[in-house]
C-alpha cells in the first residue's frame, strides 16, 4: 500500500508566525485530509484537500487561518497562520484511495507555540 | 449525525493480561477503523473492519454491523501496547469524513 510521509515531525514557534507542514504520498491518491488533535483530545477534521481546487473546510476552520494547497495527487501542504498558543496541537495528514476505503495517516507534526 | 462512543475511557493492565475495548456507533457504517496512537503521537492503523472478524498477532477485532458495535481484543498485553486506542467510522451519508470516538487510554504496567 502507499506510504505517506509528513514533515516537520515537530516544531516550536513564536506567536504571530506561520508554519507550513508538508505531506507526501508515494503514489497518486484520490483524497487527502488534514486533522488537528489538541492535547488530550480526539482528532478533528480541518479540511479535505482537493487537487487543483480550493480545499473544503469543516465548520470552525477558515482558509485565512489554515490555507491548504494540493498541486497534484501526491502532495499537500497545510499552513498554520498567525499562530497563537491555542494552536499548539498535533497536525496530521491522511489519504484514502476512495469512498469507504481505509484512511492512512502520516506520523503527525507536533507543534508548540510560545 | 452519527455518534461514536468508546468504552472504557481509561484502562490499566498488568503485563500479560487480556482486555476488550468497545466501540458503539449510532447508525450504519461503511467503514470502521481501529487505530493505536502511541505515546509519541504516531497513529497506527490497526484494523479496517466494517464487518466481520480479523486477527493480527495478539490483536483481533470483531464488528457486528447489524448491532452497531465493534470490539478490539488485546491478548497477553505488553508495555508497548500503551497509548490511546481510537475507533473511527464513516457512513453512507458522508463516505469520506471519519467520525471519531474519544478513545480508550490504555496503560500497561510491567
Which three cell numbers, joined as nine digits, stand for A50? 482537493
Would you say B19 and B43 are in contact if contact means Cβ atoms under 8 Å apart? no
Q: Any residues with CB less than 8 A from the CB of A90 and at least 6 apart, and which?
A: A36, A37, A108, A109, A110, A111, B41
**Contact assignment for A48 to B96 by CB distance below 8 Å:** yes
By CA distance, what is A58's nearest residue in B?
B97
Nearest by CB to B90, which of A37, A92, A100? Answer: A100
State the cell numbers at B77: 498485553
**What per-residue confidence (pLDDT) applies to B51?**
94
Supply the pLDDT for residue B95.
62
Q: Report percent pLDDT > 90 for chain B.
A: 83
Task: Encode chain A (114 residues) as per-residue pLDDT tens digits.
Answer: 789 999 999 999 999 999 999 999 999 998 899 999 999 999 999 999 988 888 999 999 999 999 999 999 999 999 999 999 999 999 999 999 877 788 999 999 999 999
* Average pLDDT, integer, range B22-38: 94
- B window 22-41, beta carbon within 8 A of A: 30-31, 33, 35, 41
pLDDT at residue B18 is higher than 90: yes
Q: Residue B57: left (phi > 0), alpha (psi -120 to 50), or beta?
A: left
Nearest beta carbon to residue A42 from set B41, B96, B101? B101
In this model, does residue B64 exceed pLDDT 80? yes
Q: How do residues B71-101 score in pLDDT, each as one tens digit?
A: 999 999 999 999 999 999 988 776 678 999 9
| Facing A43 at nearest CB: one of B45, B96, B100 | B100
Name the minimum distance, in Å, from the CA of B31 to any CA of chain A.
Answer: 5
Gap from B63 CA to chain A (nearest CA, Å): 15
d(CA B97, CA B44): 18
At residue B46 the predicted structure's pLDDT band, cuts being 50, 70 and 90, is: very high
Contact criterion met (CB < 8 Å) for A102 and B102: no
In the predicted structure, residue B17 carries a pLDDT above the cut 80: yes
The DSSP bridge partners found for residue B65 are none
Handedness of CA B55, A44, A90, B83 (dihedral sign): negative
Do A103 and B33 count as a contact with CB atoms less than 8 A apart? yes
Amino acid at each position: 500500500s502507499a506510504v505517506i510521509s509528513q514533515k516537520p515531525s515537530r516544531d516550536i514557534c513564536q506567536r504571530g508566525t506561520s508554519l507550513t507542514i508538508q505531506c507526501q504520498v508515494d503514489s497518486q491518491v484520490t483524497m487527502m485530509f488534514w486533522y488537528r488533535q489538541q492535547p488530550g483530545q480526539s482528532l478533528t477534521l480541518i479540511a479535505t484537500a482537493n487537487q487543483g481546487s480550493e480545499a473544503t473546510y469543516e465548520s470552525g476552520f477558515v482558509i485565512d487561518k489554515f490555507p491548504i494547497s494540493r498541486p497534484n495527487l501526491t502532495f499537500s501542504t497545510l499552513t498554520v497562520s498567525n499562530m497563537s498558543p491555542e494552536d499548539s496541537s498535533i497536525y496530521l495528514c491522511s489519504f484514502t484511495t476512495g469512498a469507504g476505503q481505509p484512511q492512512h495517516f502520516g506520523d503527525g507534526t507536533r507543534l508548540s507555540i510560545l | 449525525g452519527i455518534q461514536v462512543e468508546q468504552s472504557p475511557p481509561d484502562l490499566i493492565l498488568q503485563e500479560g493480561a487480556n482486555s476488550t475495548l468497545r466501540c458503539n456507533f449510532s447508525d450504519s457504517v461503511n467503514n470502521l477503523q481501529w487505530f493505536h496512537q502511541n505515546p509519541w503521537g504516531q497513529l497506527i492503523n490497526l484494523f479496517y473492519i466494517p464487518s466481520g472478524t480479523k486477527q493480527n498477532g495478539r490483536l483481533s477485532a470483531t464488528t457486528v454491523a447489524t448491532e452497531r458495535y465493534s470490539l478490539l481484543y488485546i491478548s497477553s498485553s505488553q508495555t508497548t501496547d500503551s497509548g490511546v486506542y481510537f475507533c473511527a467510522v464513516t457512513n453512507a451519508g458522508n463516505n469520506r469524513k471519519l467520525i471519531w470516538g474519544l478513545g480508550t487510554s490504555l496503560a500497561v504496567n510491567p
